[in-house]
Amino acid sequence: MDFTAIQKRVEALTEPKNVVLVGASDKAGSWAARVYRNLKRYNFPGTIQLVNPGRNEVFGQPCYPDFKSLPEKPDHLVVVVPAPHVPKMLREAAAAGARSATVFSSGFGEANDAEGAKLGAALRAAIAETGLGVSGPNCMGNICAKTSFVTLTEDRPLTLNEGPVALVGQSGGVMIFVNSALGERGIRPEYLITSGNEAGLSVADYIAFFATQPELKVIIIYVEALKDVEKFKAACRLARDSGKHIVAIKLGQSEAGRGAAMAHTGSLAGSFEAFDALTGELGVIRAETLDDAIEVTELLAHTKAPTGRRLGAITLSGAYRGLLLDAAERNGLQFPDLAQATLDKLNNVLGVGSLVSNPIDGGFGVLQSADNYLACIQAMHDDPNIDMVLVQEAIPREAGSDRAEKYIALVQDFVKTKATKPIAFITLTSHSQTDYSRNIRYKAPNLSFLQEANKALRVIENVVRRHELDTLSRAAQTQPQPNAEQQKACDAVRTAAASGGMVALNEARSKDLLRAYGMPMPKEFLATSAEQAAKAADDIGYPVVLKVVSSKILHKSDVGGVVLNLQNAEAVKAAWTQVEKNLAQHGVKDPIDGMLVVKMIKSNLELVLGLNRDPEVGLVVMAGMGGVWLELIKDVSFSIPPISAEKARDMLEQTHAGRLLKGYRGSPSLDIDAVVAAIVALGRIATDLGDVVQSIDVNPFVVLPNGQGGMALDALVVLEKK
């Protein structure tokens, strides 16, 4: 995707030549007054012009009735007029030469009202027609430190700084709070964009622009709903390839949260799990909380991103050593045994014989001298079993801790000149900073100062997991073309979808598609009479299952359409009659396609596998515990197609089902390769039929002992409504 035109629009928004305040007012506390004050407070170098047909003077300077009357051609607009006037005003401004606008006005459909929706459509049409770079509507302004351009309606003093962080989000309030928290930690974002309802520029557009800014290292985004997932994916990949880290904060973990997202933006928020799967593919780090977003930014803005789970640590007490070990186990990280060469170096420095282990307890003499301190850090850093080194140390909040300040400076110099692995300081608890401590932090730009063991290790794991998923995603991009059998099955599905009347394929046709992609099934036969069913059962071998087949009946058990454990032909005929009676009792009047006679398979483990089209991110592949466990514990994982065997194995590793497949507490190991092949098949179907398939449900997929395979016992393919 070519972002050149979009990047120019964002540049026009963030680097304006002048600002025109439309709806200018000096009423205390008004949006207009606050924007004007901040433009002046932070010394915007361009001209500030005022437009309000009802005023001749505002803030002691001339106010003009329209754009034609302005002494200087308009460039950027700050719009605080009522919603109905905005579309026309944008057209007039563009005709006069304006290139961008920030629309504070609300009432464009964010409240899900019909009149607002009409105004929203009119606004989008005006933006598309004029080509203006527009943030908003319903936003709270922006910051661009590079150009001293501040329209953010924030009363508290701001410190403008170039790099290394940019913020953009649909909630102005969240962005302001994140900005304040970063400032407390000594991180000064260069950009803060409140994108609002995104009738014009979207989060994806800003990401694409930030990808071109060399001083930026971290882009923090707050997302309520993605409007164009393909553009978002392309922008994130552009930023990733440009060496930028993206940290995402997402509303919608709970049903209530998803409802809030819909109410706030007027758009449909997708499932949280699907968003997680998407961002994992894109190298985006999704932060669990706002605190985690601050912590991961602290790590990535100053320290190289860790790429492995093996930590080394130097603590100042045995108690903190224990806290780190607990936090590592809780967050899937390890403190591995040190290499013998490392132990020899440490024993030589500390003189403690065989007592040295990872993490190192500083009570053994690490702090006896600066030479000891640095030698221990270097020994841990050089260990081939270690991916990242943590050192317990807090930034002094006032004068008097000369040792700590000296040691921080020593480690900063080591990291800057010699280190090839990430090194970070870590504290016992979270704490506030002072001007004194922030000044020390500014002198150590290559070090991160992480706070509190569990939070710090949680975000480290999050960053490492991002690396793992990114590696898996890149390796999975190449997919084979469908063979003749698969192409024939795809053509049949497309024909069914084109008919318009069919929402779902019946079980037999659903299985035909899966079978073409190599998913194994038990022996079965589609019968149209009781006699046919009995003969088929004799051929298949007992016991068998009898199931009604109809594209109109999606849940067969609910209407008595399934009979299990049939042992002979007479039982099959009787079951046929019983199913017909059950259907009549449940009011099923549509003709059925027949009944499926299926070899009954004894299950070692039942899984659920499937595809689902999330309304926000598109098709996602699912795998996890099936049967009653699906609703009870929701032990499932998700991934975005295409799916490689490595990605499929990783999906299973994220579930309890993955542990059961390996054999748990003496139970035999099961055929994980069969499950992997089935997940890969679903990923290929998503790639080949992504435009017509709404969902695929394989439940249960039974897994047999190792080497004996697995089978899809039931399947449902639902087609996209056209």
Q: Do both 439 and 577 map to the same domain?
A: no
Q: Find all residues with CB under 8 Å of 561, minimum gap 6, and list them.
A: 547, 548, 553, 579, 582, 583
Quick: pLDDT tens for 290-328: 999 999 999 999 998 999 999 999 998 888 899 999 999
Please say if the pLDDT value at position 352 is more than 90. Answer: no
Amino acid at 376: C
Instruction: Tell which of 560, 585, 600 closes a domain.
Output: 600
Q: What is the CATH number of the domain that holds 616?
A: 3.30.470.20
Is the residue at 496 inside a domain?
Answer: no
Is the residue at 221 inside a domain?
Answer: yes
Q: Which residue has the higher pLDDT, 20 or 108?
A: 20
Position 269 confidence tier, pLDDT thresholds 50, 70, 90:
very low
Is the residue at 497 inside a domain?
Answer: no
- For residue 475, the model assigns a pLDDT of 80
pLDDT exceeding 70 applies to what percent of the chain?
94
Q: Find all residues with CB under 8 Å of 595, minimum gap 6, and list them.
A: 526, 527, 533, 546, 547, 548, 549, 576, 579
Q: Do both 585 and 622 map to the same domain?
A: no
Q: Do both 314 and 357 map to the same domain?
A: yes
- For residue 51, the Cα-to-chain-centroid distance in whole angstroms is 42
Number of domains observed in the structure of the chain: 4
DSSP conformation class of 667: P
| Range scoring the smallest mean pLDDT among 80-94, 153-167, 431-445 | 153-167
Give the mean pLDDT of 442-453.
94
Q: Do both 153 and 279 map to the same domain?
A: yes
Q: What is the CATH number of the domain that holds 539?
A: 3.30.1490.20
Is the residue at 317 inside a domain?
Answer: yes
Angle at 346 between CA 341 and CA 348, to 5 degrees: 95
Q: Which two tokens stand for residue 485?
A: 């059998």
C-alpha distance across the termini of the chain, in Å: 26
Instruction: Tell which of 300, 331, 348 closes a domain.
Output: 300
Is the residue at 463 inside a domain?
Answer: yes
Q: Do both 229 and 318 map to the same domain?
A: no
Q: What is the mean pLDDT of the chain?
A: 91
Crossing angle, helix 4-14 and helix 203-210, to 10 degrees? 90
β 636-639/191-194 pair status: unpaired
Q: Find all residues with CB under 8 Å of 553, minimum gap 6, and list them.
A: 559, 561, 588, 592
- For residue 364, the model assigns a pLDDT of 59
d(CA 712, CA 703): 9
Exposure string of 462-479, with b = 16+ CB inside 10 Å and e = fewer, is: bbbbbbebbebbeebeeb
Q: Do both 322 and 210 map to the same domain?
A: no
Q: Is the distance from CB of 286 to CB of 463 less than 8 angstroms?
A: no
Quick: pLDDT tens for 641-656: 999 999 999 999 999 8
- For residue 264, the model assigns a pLDDT of 39
Look up the domain containing 667 and give its range: 605-719
Q: Which two tokens stand for residue 540?
A: 């298949």
Q: Do both 582 and 664 map to the same domain?
A: no
Q: Do both 610 and 585 map to the same domain?
A: no
Q: Do both 366 and 316 map to the same domain?
A: yes
Instruction: Tell which of 284, 300, 316 closes a domain.
Output: 300
Is the residue at 37 inside a domain?
Answer: yes
Q: Do both 315 and 292 map to the same domain?
A: no
pLDDT exceeding 90 applies to what percent of the chain?
72
- For residue 603, the model assigns a pLDDT of 79
Give the mean pLDDT of 73-85.
96
Exposure string of 67-79, with b = 16+ CB inside 10 Å and e = fewer, is: beebeeebbbbbb
Quick: pLDDT tens for 564-595: 999 999 999 999 999 999 999 998 888 899 99
- For residue 631, the model assigns a pLDDT of 65
Give the mean pLDDT of 16-38.
94
Q: Do both 565 and 609 map to the same domain?
A: no
Give the mean pLDDT of 12-29.
95
Give the mean pLDDT of 362-369.
68
Q: What is the CATH number of the domain that holds 369?
A: 3.40.50.261
Q: Which two tokens stand for residue 23?
A: 């709806």
Please say if the pLDDT value at position 45 is more than 80. Answer: yes
Q: Is the distance from CB of 228 to CB of 278 less than 8 angstroms?
A: no
Q: Find all residues with CB under 8 Å of 537, minimum gap 6, and list them.
A: 544, 566, 568, 569, 572, 597
Position 346 confidence tier, pLDDT thresholds 50, 70, 90:
confident
Is the residue at 480 inside a domain?
Answer: no
Q: Do both 13 and 102 map to the same domain?
A: yes
Quick: pLDDT tens for 149-171: 999 998 888 888 888 999 999 98
Is the residue at 510 inside a domain?
Answer: no
Quick: pLDDT tens for 598-646: 999 987 789 999 998 888 888 999 999 886 666 666 788 999 999 999 9
Quick: pLDDT tens for 513-541: 999 999 999 999 999 999 999 999 999 99
